[in-house]
Chain A
């Protein structure tokens, strides 16, 4: 092929987005006089079918072998025009784009200056287009299995969908049981479904599905590899109970010397458990676990005259010598569904959460109203002789949400509705109680939400517009200091129980998964999706998807929908069986590489390693790029001290002339 550059330049009007500020006629006229440019045109929408047809016709009729499109950001339409080239048989990497919209017309007002800048950008693109080389994409096989991290409703749903489609799933859950936050809830808004009733069948399905390997009480320890071919190491923590023998009868727990003396995580500290425990009655797997940080045998090596659990277990399942196990698996896709933690109310000391027993969080009330909770669903505060039923109940919304003073500017999206639900449940259980909700805005945006909010108000729950500032105690009563903003009246409201509608925060150990998978965080510290609108379940790492609250606060319907989205994205990968690897990746000139390893340190994707090669009889170290891992960011190339590592399409000899044009230097 005669590779003397014959370039076509296409200047897009983008309706008036570009044409209003840039004289597109002048730009194409300027381009037509640039060296190697065979044809230059301008058109209203280059991305439209007729626009693309212009390019295809010119390639055919004018014999073009390079194309420059001056339009929007390459993020928008680079793929569109690469396909246009490919359809004519031209290598799609003979395309160069000049961004005269985001980088020019949208950010400038002066038409004359904007036009001059657009010309420069086009000139620079032409300068590079001359030097482009054809590139070819590779494909790799995809391991037909998925790792799902997190066994809450998001992880459960994603696992079930993928498994039902016929692919293997490894579902890793950190705690002894799947179920997550949803299992802690009593009812769900706005339908008042019993949370456990709709969740437990799914939990059971997960455990019994032939395609799902459930790794409960386990943590992912190491992930290497790349899209389609991840290698995973999971630490299966010792339960000190042989799950094959344990029948889940629970006698061990009753016998445990610490029974009723350890705060139960599942009950949000409102109830207690033993050192050997099942987190909740419907736990899956229904196997007991010994808490290694509390068990007397495991912490002190001694438990009275001998561990009572061991003596009580008829199945002989207790095994104090059990060790952690490492499970290795290979997967093509990974779904992160690690959920959330609730805001730590102690960070707002003005509400006295640490000082007063009767200031509780919504999650704590959730356990109190739940039939499976420590009080059997009765709203009783205090213990023994001090036990009493609250008469005056107040909810405070937006605790730890929409609040710069604690660093959480976002709305947690579920608190308004769970508050309405809990207020309804309190009213239902204590019809004589006076229930009020202090709010600054009520956000009832979901299906059936506004109707539910209406219902709860009509049941007699009072909504007072004003976010309380302070809580202190006067006698037996808690005093809420607030302003009724609708009446412009400061008030001191005396109540028996204050429920803080705490917001949702990223998991306190969110860092762990970030380090494993190189995920990014958005400003709110939740995991960052690849695009907020068009790729909401993808991450910047190919083959890694997000589901549920790890990406941002969500209610159950949204979580399930996103989990299904993540599952479907993973299935696209798995069912195609192959994945394309980008062509604009780095490569090493092994003849000049000095093996200093600087690029290995720089690479954010761990795509470069040092290997030993035989260079004319000498064994030397050189860098080598794993093409499947390289994302083409170019950091290595910019950092390389000897210019030995280069990125295809962005080689020094391609981009230096491009930069020279911009700087006005020939």
Chain B
């Protein structure tokens, strides 16, 4: 066995694998693509060179939902093995152009969407937003997310949060144009390792975020939340998700939901909030406080939730699979429940599920909405 294979085996503790198959059994992509995490581990153990394994097209089908790692009885992280294989391609420069562009944009402009850094804060125009200055004491430092900043389809999420923060009199501050991508998707696309873009961005972001005297950082996207919470070892402030904050405000009576929303709502657990960080109750609590709403549950929810395929760099890669998209399965399941609103707490979930809803032609019967989007109409200015 060559040394490259050996160090790959060592790096991901592959000798600990018992080949039980829980990773592949739980993998949401395994049934619809050729992805088989257990088999990748087995092949590496059999001496297959990582360079060769990296050529498997299905390694780009992984959504990094983390089910494989959560289910592994031996503490291995098959998802990291797949990201490790992507890294080999990144290093060798053999990449799909869309992936390459996203990484370059993250490096140049601090976002993977190929948008100018200078327009990051444009969504705030016309809003009464408090911007924090470095060195300033602020209770809640808000971390918005590239997708929310730039994609007009989901900007409403941040806009409504501003509305809530102002209304509830929260001590908060946004970062503004200086905010830079959390690098979660940079990591997932495999731009990691010594002198990797991911590590560089973590370092820069840590410096930026630590320059504020913030008690806690409130991430709007679960992807940023998970990255800041788990992949930034040197942050001074605590990291929470906005659902933690909004739940707090509702519980303390600082935020009142008025009006009625007599709709049937089903909540879809974002992997980066649920499976990866065990945040299941906060979004459900918020929804339960909506006057008039009836909350229903997916058959597959919480720990058994189904991924929408929005993460893992899937925004910039295409799959060969002709099978139904998981987001389509999800909106079908939601419709079968009679749900009128498919609620989510993640910008990626909004995009994938909304696309699926339109592809299925369900627009008349139901809509996909981020929780903050729903709350917007229930807050009196």
Interface residues in chain A, defined as those with a beta carbon under 8 Å from any beta carbon in chain B: 349-350, 352, 398, 402-405, 440-441, 465-474, 481-485, 488, 490-492
| Cβ-defined contact, B36 with A488, below 8 A | yes
A194 to B70, CA, bound (A): 40
B31 interface residue (CB < 8 Å to A): yes
Residues of B contacting A473 with CB < 8 Å? 299
A647 to B39, CA, bound (A): 61
Besides A467-B73, A468-B25, A490-B36, 18 other A-B contacts (C-beta < 8 A): A402-B18, A404-B75, A405-B73, A405-B75, A465-B21, A466-B21, A470-B25, A470-B26, A470-B71, A470-B304, A472-B300, A482-B21, A483-B22, A483-B24, A483-B25, A483-B38, A484-B21, A488-B36
A402 to B20, CA, bound (A): 11
A350 to B305, CA, bound (A): 9
A402 to B18, CA, bound (A): 10
Complex: chain B residue closest to A403, CB-CB: B73
Interface residues in chain B, defined as those with a beta carbon under 8 Å from any beta carbon in chain A: 18-27, 30-31, 36, 38-39, 67, 70-75, 299-300, 302-304
B18 partner, pick from A440, A470, A488, A490, beta carbons under 8 A: A440
The 21 listed contacts between A and B (C-beta, < 8 Å) are A349-B303, A352-B304, A398-B20, A402-B73, A404-B73, A405-B71, A405-B75, A466-B20, A466-B25, A467-B20, A467-B22, A467-B25, A467-B73, A468-B22, A470-B67, A471-B304, A482-B21, A483-B21, A488-B36, A490-B25, A490-B30
| Cβ-defined contact, A472 with B21, below 8 A | no
| Cβ-defined contact, B72 with A481, below 8 A | no
Task: Report the minimum CB–CB distance from B148 to chain A (whole Å).
Answer: 30
Known pairs A402-B73, A405-B75; A349 contacts B304 (CB<8 A): yes
Residues of B contacting A490 with CB < 8 Å? 24-25, 27, 30-31, 36
A468 to B23, CA, bound (A): 9
| Cβ-defined contact, B22 with A469, below 8 A | yes
Complex: chain A residue closest to B23, CB-CB: A469
| Cβ-defined contact, A483 with B73, below 8 A | no
Task: Report the minimum CB–CB distance from B302 to chain A (whole Å).
Answer: 7
B67 partner, pick from A398, A469, A484, beta carbons under 8 A: A469
A471 to B70, CA, bound (A): 15
| Cβ-defined contact, A441 with B18, below 8 A | yes
Known pairs A404-B74, A490-B31; A472 contacts B22 (CB<8 A): no
Complex: chain A residue closest to B25, CB-CB: A469
A440 to B299, CA, bound (A): 27
Residues of B contacting A470 with CB < 8 Å? 25-26, 67, 71, 304
Task: Report the minimum CB–CB distance from A441 to chain B (whole Å).
Answer: 7
A473 to B75, CA, bound (A): 28
Known pairs A440-B19, A482-B21, A482-B25; A405 contacts B36 (CB<8 A): no
A405 to B20, CA, bound (A): 14
Complex: chain B residue closest to A440, CB-CB: B20
| Cβ-defined contact, B26 with A405, below 8 A | no
A287 to B288, CA, bound (A): 50
Residues of A contacting B24 with CB < 8 Å? 469, 483, 485, 490
A350 partner, pick from B20, B21, B27, B71, beta carbons under 8 A: B71
Most buried by B among A398, A405, A490, A491: A490
Task: Report the minimum CB–CB distance from A572 to chain B (whole Å).
Answer: 42
Residues of A contacting B72 with CB < 8 Å? 404-405
A492 to B70, CA, bound (A): 19
A403 to B23, CA, bound (A): 13
Complex: chain B residue closest to A352, CB-CB: B304
Residues of B contacting A349 with CB < 8 Å? 302-304
Complex: chain B residue closest to A481, CB-CB: B25
